[in-house]
Amino acid sequence: MRPQKIDDIALLGRLIDVFRSKGYEGSSLNDLAASAGLKKASLYHRFPGGKEEIVTTVLEYTTTWGKTHVEDTLANQAIPARQRLEKVIDHIDVLYAQGTKTCILRALSMDTGITSLDSLIQVTMNNWIQAFKTFAQEIGFSSEIAHQKALQTLINIQGSLIITKGLNDTTIFKNTLETIQNLYYPTI
C-alpha cells in the first residue's frame, strides 16, 4: 500500500477552505481534488460517498474542533476562568485567521437539501452556545443572562466575519473578539 500524499488534518483543512470560499453547491469534486493535491480517484478512494461524505466529514471535524478548543477549554476548571476565556478567544482568532477566513458553518448553511448538514450545523452552533452559557453561569450570571451572552457571542463572531470581509478590515474582527471578552468581564 502506498503512503498517503497528505495527512487527514491537512486534507480536511484544504477541503474546508474550498467549502468556505464556494459553499457546498459551488464546490465541485474537481475543486476539492485540486485543493487537496489529489486526483479525483484518490479523493473518491478516501471518500467513497463523494461530495456529501466529504462535507459531512468536514462538519464532523469542525464539531470536534469546537469541542476541543471551545467547549473543553471553557469547561476546564483547572484553569482560572478569565484565562479560559482568553484561550478560547485566541483559538477562535486562529481558526478564522485573524478574521480573514469565512466561517464554514455560514458557508454551508445555504440550502443544500441535505438534512444531515443542517443537523450538524445546528449541533455545532448549539454546542458553542451551551459552552459559553455554562461558562457565564459559572462566573455568576443568571441562566437567562448567560444564554443571552452566549447567543450574542456567536452573533458577534459570525457578524464580524461578514463585515470584516465586506470592508476588508481585520481590525473589526480583532475588536469584536475584545468585545466578546467584555461581555463576560466588563471593563469599568
Average pLDDT, the chain: 91
Q: What is the DSSP letter of 98?
A: G
Rg (CA), the chain: 18
Answer whether residue 1 shows pLDDT above 50. Answer: no
pLDDT at 112: 65
Answer whether residue 175 shows pLDDT above 50. Answer: yes
Answer whether residue 2 shows pLDDT above 60. Answer: no
pTM of the model: 0.90
Q: What is the DSSP string of 14-59?
A: HHHHHHHHHHHHH--HHHHHHHHT--HHHHHHH-TTHHHHHHHHHH
The proportion of the chain whose per-residue pLDDT surpasses 90, expressed as a percent, equals 76
Cell representation of residue 154: 456567536
Q: What is the DSSP letter of 99?
A: G
Answer whether residue 151 shows pLDDT above 60. Answer: yes
d(CA 159, CA 11): 28
Cα–Cα distances (Å) from 162 to 55, 72, 170, 179, in that order, read: 22, 27, 11, 16
Tens digits of residue pLDDT in 10-32: 999 999 999 999 989 899 999 99
Tens digits of residue pLDDT in 28-85: 999 999 999 889 998 989 999 999 999 999 999 999 999 999 999 999 999 999 999 9
Mean pLDDT of the 120-141 span: 96
Tens digits of residue pLDDT in 74-127: 999 999 999 999 999 999 999 999 999 998 888 888 766 677 788 888 999 999
Residue (of 51, 92, 79) closest to 176 by Cα position: 92
Mean pLDDT of the 5-9 span: 77
